[in-house]
Amino acid sequence: MSREPFLPMLRELARCYQAFEAYSSAHIRSLGLTPSQFDIVATLGNTPGMSFKELGEKTLITKGTLTGVVDRLEAQKLVRRSASPEDGRSMIVRLAPAGERLYERVFTAHLVHMRQALGGLDAAQLAQIESTLRGLRETFAAIGGRKAVAK
């Protein structure tokens, strides 16, 4: 029946991602942010701001979700919205001063936390893992793209 040779691999992908997520997000939450909020603050750090579209692409957060997350960050005075001077449809999001301070504090702390788990991996190991993941991602992207084009 289920002699699908790729099922164990998919299972391992889900478990691996979940292990990363659990390790990372527990720390993020202990710093008073949700994983999504951290993603946004970390992405906006050291930038002049960017549109919702770009922010969504970088953080993998859907636009519908992004509106709500930015709403809550804005209510905490951590980010600011401003109209784009170039495109009347577009909004620019950037860190407010309190967001800059939070970024400095939290991003550094999180790097230390992640280094505790991953510091033992050398450049060659990291490159090998990254290469394997990219290959697998492209396998999905390829079929997804093919179907999108074929519609």
Regarding 77 and contact with DNA (CB under 7 A), the answer is no
Least Å from the CB of residue 105 to DNA: 18
> Residue 10 touches which of a copy of itself, DNA, none (CB < 5 to 8 A by kind)?
a copy of itself
Q: What are 100's two structure tokens?
A: 């800059």
For DNA, the binding residue among 5, 8, 48, 88 (CB under 7 A) is 88
Its sign, for the CA torsion 16, 17, 19, 20, is: positive
Residue 79: beta bridge partners? 95
For DNA, the binding residue among 68, 97, 144, 145 (CB under 7 A) is 68
Q: Which is nearer to a copy of itself, 19 or 98 (CB)?
A: 19
> Residue 95 touches which of DNA, a copy of itself, none (CB < 5 to 8 A by kind)?
none
Regarding 134 and contact with DNA (CB under 7 A), the answer is no
Residue 68: beta bridge partners? none
* Nearest by Cα to 52 from 76, 81, 78: 81
Total residues found in the chain within this entry: 151
